[in-house]
Amino acid sequence: MYRAPVDEITHTLMHVAGLKSAIGDGRFPDLGEDLVDAILAEAGKFAGDEIAPLNAIGDKNGAKLADGAVTTPPGWKELYRRWIDGGWNGLTGPEAFGGQGLPMLMSVAAVEMWNSAAFAFALGPLLTMGAIEAIDKHATDELKAKYLEKLVTGEWMGTMNLTEPQAGSDLNALKARAERAGDGSYRIFGQKIYITYGEHDFTDNIVHLVLARLPDAPAGTRGISLFLVPKFLVGDDGELGARNDAFCSGLEHKLGIHGSPTCTMIFGDGKFGDEPGAIGWLIGEENRGLACMFTMMNNARLHVGIQGVSIAEAAYQKALAYANERTQGRAPGFKGDGMSPIIGHPDVRRMLLTMKSLTQGSRAICYTCAQALDMAHVTEGDKSRKWMERASLITPIAKAFSTDAGVDVASLGVQVHGGMGFIEETGAAQLLRDARIAPIYEGTNGIQAIDLVMRKLPLSDGATVCALIADYQADADAVRASNSPELAGVADRLDRAIDDLRTATSFMLDAVRSGRQGEALAGATPYLRLFGLTASGALLARGAMAGMGEDGGEGRAALIRFAAANLLPETAGLSSTVTAGAESLEAAAAALT
């Protein structure tokens, strides 16, 4: 059973993602180290004691649809009640509406723990978090007054309605339509698919955010508007009124996250109300809906990256426990009687160390992304802009590298269990099934790689990416300067990885600047992986340097030494693929038969 790794999370927050110095610098006046510790300890306790025991039940029973109503797995509704009663939903919500307004760094740490405990359960509140953010930043005061407080407490939940059958990665093709009702409200019509927690029994009301086109809207993504469409209309007194014309017509039968209802939503077909049309209210300006969505999407992408970390951590813990317990064969050097625990076998140890390196590396990447968001918030002017650009740059890496790591680590977790890994009751297979969604949703990892190369590398004409790489170089330099025998060989390997990243980055920047779009797109995915691996190495080293001699210090040093010698060597090949792989890819249409 999952236990929150509170010490490692705290160490990463404080020493890798700079929370300790930010607190020391007075960046977060309401947050002291004691409070950080207290919140993380409580969040971890809730995750391990309350959420984790209901994970397998959710997978086995799934969410069920009957007569338009969705029943969540046994015990989940009550769990959600305990969750909001504990105040967890409002952790990062705006203080003006009852939230605690904690920094994103605290959010990612808590979100990690909840998703490790039960991904399919924790996913719902993530959507609500996104809805809160979009409403808080872009909606009218009237809408805020009516909806925000209840979303922040968790009394109501929120959803995001983007995808349609013909419009997935490409929202240009979006067809849902909106009509002005003349009274300031709108009527929404259309079908949306893959709507997470589009319908459920956790809360009395559900606040849908829906992308749709007005009749006179320009074609493409510049003609999309964002609407708030509640399941039940809300009176001026805040009381629930009539059912709105929106309902769930089907649930998907999915590979994983069975407890999370993935809904097909029908808006405005006349099932409810006097005449067809779901009543909605505009968020932001007409035709500017995508911009509103994007503010929110960056955080959502970071949170999905965190889900990758979460699954990886859960898979690592499960595999580690099994490898310590299961005996088979005699490992080299084993002195006991009979068979040795399989953790003693070098190949099993390689799997576990790879799992831990990827878990901790992607955690560090995600947390430094949260750090950049927080710093952008608490600084001003050019400083703030630079931090925001850094967050924008790291976001696609955090999303894609971490979710790929989630799948890889979960798959290694199955392998460590041998035959038991393939048996559902073990739980290792569930983690792999659950993990597999994260590289797909919230922008596929291919889309993330394109975003990284085409939109993020060119930020400030390349200065943003150069500054980040320079920070990684500083980590490598610090290792070298330390002359620490525990980190023997690490500085050399980091230098080489950073050189590979620099070479590939120059190539990519040049390709983008000179309009060689095909080359940039062809190498985007290996480039993102190269970036993620190098960042992992630098950040693992940063964490090890900060914790020398302390509890866990020896383990952190050993982990980066392992990763440097065993995982970082991949960067040379990736760099070569980025810089020399495009031509053969472009020429290979004949092979695709």
Active site residue ranges: 442
Nearer to a second copy, 23 or 432 (CB): 432
CB of 236 to a second copy, least distance (A): 39
Quote the distance between the C-alpha of residue 62 and its chain's center. Answer: 22
Nearer to a second copy, 66 or 588 (CB): 588
CB of 564 to a second copy, least distance (A): 7
DSSP string, 65-94: EETTEEEPPTTHHHHHHHHHHTTGGGSSS-
Binding residue count for a second copy, defined by CB under 8 A? 98
Q: Which of residues 427-466 bind a second copy (CB under 8 A)?
A: 429, 432-433, 436-437, 439-441, 444-446, 449-450
CB of 521 to a second copy, least distance (A): 4
- Name the residue with tokens 């290694």: 412
Which residue from 417, 421, 545, 397 is spatially nearest to 476, judged by alpha carbons? 545
Question: What would the x/- binding string for a second copy be over residues 330 to 369, using CB under 8 A?
Answer: --xx-----x---x-xxxxxxxxx--x-------------
Using the contact rule CB under 8 A, the part of the chain among 18-26, 73-81, 152-160, 582-590 near a second copy is: 582-590
Question: What would the x/- binding string for a second copy be over residues 234 to 273, using CB under 8 A?
Answer: ------------------xxxxx-----------------
Cα 592 to Cα 35, 479, 523, 580, distances in angstroms: 57, 46, 18, 20
Nearer to a second copy, 203 or 264 (CB): 264
Q: Please, which residues have CB within 8 angstroms of residue 388's CB and are 6 or more apart in sequence? A: 372, 373, 376
Nearer to a second copy, 48 or 421 (CB): 421
CB of 518 to a second copy, least distance (A): 5
Pull the structure tokens for residue 103.
Answer: 């920094």
Q: CB atoms < 10 A from the CB of 432, how many?
A: 22
Which residue in the set 394, 521, 539, 545 belongs to the binding site for a second copy (CB under 8 A)?
A: 521
Using the contact rule CB under 8 A, the part of the chain among 64-72, 277-285, 473-481, 570-578 near a second copy is: 570-578
Using the contact rule CB under 8 A, the part of the chain among 38-46, 209-217, 268-276, 562-570 near a second copy is: 562-570
SS3 288: strand
CB of 443 to a second copy, least distance (A): 10
Nearer to a second copy, 96 or 423 (CB): 423
Pull the structure tokens for residue 399.
Answer: 């999303």
Alpha-carbon distance of 159 to 288, in angstroms, equals 19
User: Secondary structure of 481-544 in the HEC alphabet?
Assistant: HHCCHHHCCHHHHHHHHHHHHHHHHHHHHHHHHCCCHHHHHHCHHHHHHHHHHHHHHHHHHHHH
- DSSP bridge pairs for 206: 157
Alpha-carbon distance of 565 to 551, in angstroms, equals 24
| 581 is a site residue for a second copy (CB under 8 A) | yes
Nearer to a second copy, 41 or 423 (CB): 423
Using the contact rule CB under 8 A, the part of the chain among 136-144, 175-183, 306-314, 567-575 near a second copy is: 567-575
Alpha-carbon distance of 126 to 260, in angstroms, equals 12
CA dihedral 294, 300, 302, 305 (to 10 degrees): -130
Nearer to a second copy, 187 or 258 (CB): 258
Q: Which of residues 155-214 bind a second copy (CB under 8 A)?
A: 163, 166, 168-170, 172-173, 193-194
